[in-house]
Chains A and B, each alone.
Chain A
Amino acid sequence: MTGSQAAVVFRFLRRRVWQVAPVVFGIAMLNFLILQLAPGDVVDVLAGEAGAATPEYMARLRVHFGLDKPVWVQLAYYLKNTLMLDLGFSFRQNMPVLTLIMERLPATLLLMTTAMGVAVAAGLALGVLSARFVHRAVDRVISVFVLITYALPTFWLGLMAIVLFSARLGWLPSSGMTDIGVKLDGFAYLRDVARHIVLPALTLATFYLAVYAKLVRAAMLEYFGADFIRTARAKGATETRITLFHALRNALLPLMTLLGLQLGSILSGAVLVESVFSWPGLGRLAFESILARDFNLLLGILLFSSVMVTLLNICVDAVYALLDPRIEL
């Protein structure tokens, strides 16, 4: 990377961070609002059911949130804590919230990226196929498949996949990220994780696969009528070449836009999929905190995952600029 390119990237990042700042601030305000509106005082809510937390912990929380002070001071406290990434302490897990989240983050990111990779690849393939053979048998079959996949509840699909692929057929493990009780390293470890990720990743990917297939089909059909495609045809490019190099490249752009818009929804999907497959990520952590009524942890996850969505969105924008040279960083 040359010096000027680095400068461009730096300027892009600086601008985007300034755009993101008010959103993050707003999300922190939203969290604070939820806490204020909740029944009981903030500490009652955060400490969960009565009797679960020790008086010392409650007192510590009250100081942490400045509860003896007026609301606007409390807000200032809350924003200051959030800004310094101090998300508080989880009483149930006996660990700082941020530590817990950071521990679980890699597993969620791995699941999300794998699922998205599968969804984009398969969605592109199906979309291209149905656009290439529009209104023919292949297109019909894919349309019906997309329609049904679109209606499947993710968590239910996961359960059914466990019944079929791990219980009946015994092909794949149904829970966790690695086999319990065996210590593997190097290549064997990777193989183990790969075996465990198949079912959760495919389950999470299914819905988005349908969405992308539908979108790519529509975009490709639109481009088939465009002037640059006619030019390509006129100069004698084959139909396959036109499909793959001319139409597809342009159809990637709306796909990226949608991907960026759906990051939050993908993370939401991960919560459900992880709780079905006991995948040790953020979603599983959220599920555990619901069961334990550990609301401080739950709010921390909400805040953290929102910030993560904004950061991932910046990455999507960067990829967008790579795909389309007309767009500058």
Chain B
Amino acid sequence: MYLALLKELLRNRSAAAGLILLAVVIFAAALGRVWFAGDPWEMSAMPMIWPGQDMENPLGTDVMGRDMATGLVSGARVSLLIGLSSTLIAALAGITAGALGGFYRGWIDAFLMRVTEIFQTVPQFVLAVVLVAIFKPSVATVTFAIGIVSWPPTARLVRSEFLLLREQEFVLAAHTLGMGDFRLIVTQILPNALPPVIVMAALNIATAIQTEAALSFLGLGDPNVMSWGTIIGNGREQVVDAWYICGLPGIAIVIIVLAFNLLGEGLNDALNPHLKER
């Protein structure tokens, strides 16, 4: 089944483009780990060497003389790590809330929907800022904060899928056979509700990576970790004299976000073929 999906994805133009871009980023990050293995915080050369000026620092150095290439490689790891793990948190929270609400309906659903509504009303990024600022910036708090602000759409989606699926005959059949609620939810309904959730997760990774970059741009990143947003935030005062310091990590963000957006679109076409004509 997975092989078939992969084949379908490679045939789809946007998914293939997304996968290729993603592979390039991961390859560059992995290769860079070997090539630019140094500490991204180390001041290794003169400050503000432009890219291509000195082969010791092929992508130049920042305001403090730290190697840009090493920083970018470190940033790739941080972005992917936080993007994936916060999406996992959001997906788990959203699936749980959506499944419970959609399956049991009644007051549980009413309560969960109210909570979802509250989280959708609060400006997400401002909430993330507050959470990270109050609980002290670290990779864990940033991941958690992004996860917390991004679960509501998944919850709504899973809920609506569950509301439809729970009335289907195969669910009734499993129920008649004496299957308990938990097994019914996890083994029968959830697998059928999952395809759109996967699409949403792919798109969510893109948003999460942008949110992480924005947080660390504002100085709310983990102070021990060099991420793309950190580099941009540190370079912004000198942006007029040395735009490449902000420019390069920004281009990296655009590429990786583009990759996940394309992948999400492709997954959507592959998993929901009836929508293809749109």
Contact = CB atoms under 8 A, between A and B. Distances in A.
Note whether A and B form a binding pair.
Answer: yes
Interface of A: 22-23, 26-27, 30, 34-35, 37-39, 45, 147-148, 150-156, 159-160, 162-163, 167, 218, 221-222, 261, 264-265, 267-269, 271-272, 275-276, 286-287, 290-291, 293, 295, 298-299, 301-302, 305-306, 309-310, 313
Contacts of B124: 264-265, 268
Contacts of B121: 23, 27, 264, 306, 309-310, 313
B239 A151 contact: no
A27 B126 contact: no
B206 interface: yes
B218 A153 contact: no
A301 B125 CA distance: 12
29 contacts: A22-B114, A23-B117, A27-B118, A30-B122, A34-B131, A148-B254, A148-B258, A151-B258, A156-B213, A159-B246, A159-B250, A162-B240, A163-B240, A167-B240, A264-B120, A272-B217, A286-B129, A290-B129, A290-B220, A291-B219, A295-B130, A295-B133, A298-B129, A298-B133, A302-B122, A302-B126, A306-B123, A309-B122, A313-B121
A305 B125 CA distance: 11
B118 A30 contact: yes
A32 to B, nearest CB: 13
Interface residues of B, number: 42
Interface string B18-62: 000000000000000000000000000000000000000000000
Nearest to A272: B214
Nearest to A289: B133
Contact of B214 (A150, A153, A310): A153
A150 B18 CA distance: 14
Contact of B130 (A39, A148, A218, A298): A298
B77 interface: no
A245 to B, nearest CB: 23
B122 A27 contact: yes
B213 A153 contact: yes
Interface of B: 114-115, 117-118, 120-127, 129-131, 133-136, 206, 210, 213-214, 217-220, 232, 236, 239-240, 243, 246-247, 250, 253-254, 257-258, 261-262, 278
A290 B253 contact: no
Given A155-B213, A159-B236, 17 more contacts: A23-B117, A23-B121, A27-B118, A34-B130, A45-B134, A147-B261, A147-B262, A150-B261, A151-B206, A153-B213, A159-B250, A160-B246, A160-B247, A264-B124, A268-B126, A271-B123, A272-B217
A271 B126 contact: yes
Contacts of B213: 153, 155-156
B134 A151 contact: no
Given A159-B236, A160-B243, A264-B121, A26 B114 contact: yes
Binding site of B, secondary structure by majority: helix, strand, loop or mixed? helix
A275 B218 contact: yes
Contact of A26 (B115, B125, B219, B258): B115
Given A22-B114, A38-B135, A159-B232, A153 B219 contact: no
Contacts of A150: 261
A261 B119 CA distance: 12
B133 A290 contact: yes
A293 B250 contact: no
A16 to B, nearest CB: 13
5 closest cross-chain pairs (CB), A and B = A268-B125, A156-B250, A26-B118, A151-B257, A264-B123
A301 B133 CA distance: 13
Interface-centre pick from B123, B214, B240 (highest chain A CB count, 10 A): B123
Interface-centre pick from A159, A271, A309 (highest chain B CB count, 10 A): A159
A156 B243 CA distance: 11
Interface-centre pick from B126, B134, B217 (highest chain A CB count, 10 A): B126
Contacts of A22: 114
Nearest to B260: A151
B258 A39 contact: no
Given A30-B118, A167-B240, A272 B125 contact: yes
A37 B151 CA distance: 20
B134 A34 contact: yes
Nearest to A40: B134
